[in-house]
Structure 1
Amino acid sequence: MRPVLLWFRRNFRLADIVKVMSVFFLVAWASIAQSADISVRMQGGPVDGVLVFQIYDSPNAFGDFRDPVKEIRTPIDASAVYLIDDVPAGVVAVLVYVDENENGLIDKNFIGIPKEALGISNNYRPKGPPAFNRAKINVAEGSLTTIDIELYKVLGRRGRLGVGAGVIGRSSPYVGSDTTVLQPIPAITYNGERLQWLGPTVQYGLAGSGWWRLAASASYRIGVYEEDDSLVLVGLGDRDSTMMAGLGLRFEVPSGANLSLRYEHDVLDKIGGGAATARLSKGFQAGAFRILPQLQVNWLSSELTNYDYGVAATAATVTRPTYNTGSSISYEAGIGTFIELTEDWRILLSVSAEFLPNEITDSPIVAEDSIIKGFAAITYVF
């Protein structure tokens, strides 16, 4: 023991030890001074199970219910009062949910809406992507902030029905056509634990509820042109609409992004073939606005590409020769916006540009190398 003490004295002076201890206590004190506590009084919860409390200081993370700055798990207490200590001081939002299956995750349906009962600070009850501004509270350094939170089901007892009005638009890439399709549509939506109906698309969740989710899907594919849209299209006939069906797979990937994969086939066999998409998107919150930039790759089978952009031998003319496109791959970039007017009213906006490949632009009936698509709707969710 004596040799150890001698070595320690030779290598460490008292002044050095004092400096080290001073730094240690300063760091510890700064950490304590910059934190706060939150007391949560719960209402409407089950009598047993596990509650998960999450603290968010980032609007973007809160918008996805991912990457909280603090999380605690606790059995449900009969007193219904819970203390969350060592919370970062400043503006934060609190989320609490019932981990019904105790898998450590907030279970979601295919499009990412939570299925388990939850509550949010300020008793904010969004029926879509949550806005940080409506949930935020201010916690002061070293203080205890008491809040009340009541649990509710985002999807209700039987899902959420939305009604409203919308419009879809699409530019025309065809020679001599200045037609921009603007079509009013009823904006009817339904979101349940497994079934989702969003305009012309229906999805049914098959498996997964956390970072990956699988669903069966069906969508109505609208014919891309009528032959009277342009002189160059006369004789080709109107393009038929058809029903597509297949599978979709969604992943929550690091950095708050989402990867969606989908393949659908022409189940009515009006055209034949299929279509596949791969989409990468990431949401950003700005007040009541949720902005969703996205990149997408589209694959169309030769049947669908030829039907939309090719010229059959039976329809060829001197100025419109036979053209076989083969299959095609196009790239698309777009941005969507979700605006929460109230907890029940919202506006949806999206616009994208699809960049057509040479297999399509070389067609004698195609003049443009891109297509602009748009959608807008206002809906009320019950």
Structure 2
Amino acid sequence: MKKHLYTLTLTSALLLGTAGTAQAQGNFGIGLGLFNGSTEYKDIDTEVYLLPVLMYESESFSLSPTRGEFHLPVSSNMWVSAIGALRLQGYDADDSATFKGMDDRDIGFDLGASVNFYNDEIGFLSLEWLADVTSTSEGNEVSAIWAYPIEGKALTITPSVFWRWQSDDLINYYYGVKTNEVTATRGAYTPDSASTFGGALSLDYKLTQSVTLFSEISAYSLDDEVKNSPLVEDDKDMGYGASIGFVYSF
């Protein structure tokens, strides 16, 4: 299973969770989408996936395929959230020749919390902390997001930017090379913590009262601690993601 191909969906899920909370639509949605994301690992082809979309949003709870949040209001425009999220990173040793002789790197599960703010002038601001609770990477992640929805009669355009810090335990698990994994062409590698900057642009078009079309493009930088890994493509400085699809709301 090429788990590393899905890492970009985490960014999208974070943005969707923040926006969904503030809008508080209180509905269930099911749909279908095409998802494409680059991978930084060597010898892995970029692919497009057709995947189901399942979502639930209410005043106090939101749920997507990779993430669930419970929201507690602090004031009329601020709330805190308890978060549970899948970390869809990693690889199997048979995914490509790059990983031959490596141990598998598994999907993890994180718990954490966020502080969120919204008003019409500033948009959405969110500061989030997540920690692995499955003893997979035993790592931590801190993210900050700004998103500004521009709403029309049917079309909503949302530009956003984010910063993300990941601990050395997390980066080492997914990009490090242990001493028992060293070969003649792959040296040992123990990276430190890493930071990423990125941005996204999403468009949501309300086709009918129940059907919404969605699309998003995103791009992000790669930290030197990731780029210097012998598992990562040479001269790989950026990654990207793209999605398009529809959701039917009940």
Fold agreement, TM-score > 0.5: yes
Give matches, 1:6-25, under 5 Å. none
Deviation at 1:300, TM superposition (A): 0.9
Contact 1:109 1:209 survives alignment (8 Å): no
Deviation at 1:375, TM superposition (A): 3.0
* Residue among 54, 61, 67 paired with 1:195: 61
CA distance, structure 2, for counterparts of residue 279 and residue 263 of structure 1 = 12
Once the two structures are superposed, residues 233-259 of structure 1 have per-residue CA deviations (whole angstroms, 9 ceiling, x without a partner) of 222233211211110111125723211
Q: Is 1:112 equivalent to 2:26 in the alignment?
A: no
Q: Is 1:371 equivalent to 2:244 in the alignment?
A: no
Contact 1:219 1:243 survives alignment (8 Å): yes
Give 3-state SS (helix, strand or coil) of 1:308's partner.
helix
The one-letter amino acid of 1:173's match is E
CA distance, structure 2, for counterparts of residue 225 and residue 369 of structure 1 = 20
Give 3-state SS (helix, strand or coil) of 2:22's partner.
coil
Partner of 2:43: 176
CA distance, structure 1, for counterparts of residue 67 and residue 36 of structure 2 = 17
Partner of 1:15: none
RMSD: 2.1
Contact 2:21 2:71 survives alignment (8 Å): no
**Equivalent pairs, count:** 231
Which segments of structure 1 move beyond 6 Å, counting only runs of 4 or more? none
CA distance, structure 2, for counterparts of residue 229 and residue 289 of structure 1 = 40
Deviation at 1:294, TM superposition (A): 0.8
CA distance, structure 2, for counterparts of residue 109 and residue 379 of structure 1 = 15
- The one of the two structures with greater contact order (alpha-carbon pairs below 8 A, sep at least 6) is 2
The one-letter amino acid of 1:360's match is V
Partner of 2:137: 271
Aligned identity (percent) is: 25
Change (3 A) 1:248 1:207: same
CA distance, structure 2, for counterparts of residue 266 and residue 185 of structure 1 = 25
CA distance, structure 2, for counterparts of residue 197 and residue 378 of structure 1 = 17
* Residue among 244, 255, 260 paired with 2:121: 255
Once the two structures are superposed, residues 79-138 of structure 1 have per-residue CA deviations (whole angstroms, 9 ceiling, x without a partner) of xxxxxxxxxxxxxxxxxxxxxxxxxxxxx9972125xxxxxxxxxxxxxxxxxxxxxxxx
Give matches, 1:95-174, under 5 Å. 111-114=21-24, 154-155=25-26, 160-174=27-41
Contact 1:110 1:214 survives alignment (8 Å): no
Partner of 2:192: 326
Deviation at 1:169, TM superposition (A): 2.5
Give 3-state SS (helix, strand or coil) of 1:173's partner.
coil
Q: Is 1:231 equivalent to 2:97 in the alignment?
A: yes
Partner of 2:179: 313
* Residue among 221, 226, 229 paired with 2:87: 221
CA distance, structure 1, for counterparts of residue 206 and residue 105 of structure 2 = 37
CA distance, structure 2, for counterparts of residue 295 and residue 373 of structure 1 = 14
CA distance, structure 2, for counterparts of residue 361 and residue 270 of structure 1 = 22
* Residue among 169, 173, 177 paired with 1:303: 169
Deviation at 1:167, TM superposition (A): 3.5
Q: Is 1:186 equivalent to 2:52 in the alignment?
A: yes
CA distance, structure 1, for counterparts of residue 144 and residue 48 of structure 2 = 26
CA distance, structure 2, for counterparts of residue 250 and residue 376 of structure 1 = 26
Partner of 1:244: 110
Contact 2:21 2:59 survives alignment (8 Å): no
Structure 2 residues without counterparts, runs of 5 or longer = 1-17
CA distance, structure 1, for counterparts of residue 19 and residue 201 of structure 2 = 23
Partner of 1:84: none
Decide which moves more: 236-245 or 291-300.
236-245
Contact 1:161 1:190 survives alignment (8 Å): yes
Once the two structures are superposed, residues 254-280 of structure 1 have per-residue CA deviations (whole angstroms, 9 ceiling, x without a partner) of 723211111111111222111111011
Contact 2:150 2:156 survives alignment (8 Å): yes
Once the two structures are superposed, residues 341-375 of structure 1 have per-residue CA deviations (whole angstroms, 9 ceiling, x without a partner) of 11110022222111001111111221212221233
The one-letter amino acid of 2:157's match is I
Give 3-state SS (helix, strand or coil) of 2:121's partner.
helix
Change (3 A) 1:185 1:110: closer
CA distance, structure 1, for counterparts of residue 23 and residue 185 of structure 2 = 53
Partner of 1:71: none
Deviation at 1:281, TM superposition (A): 1.2
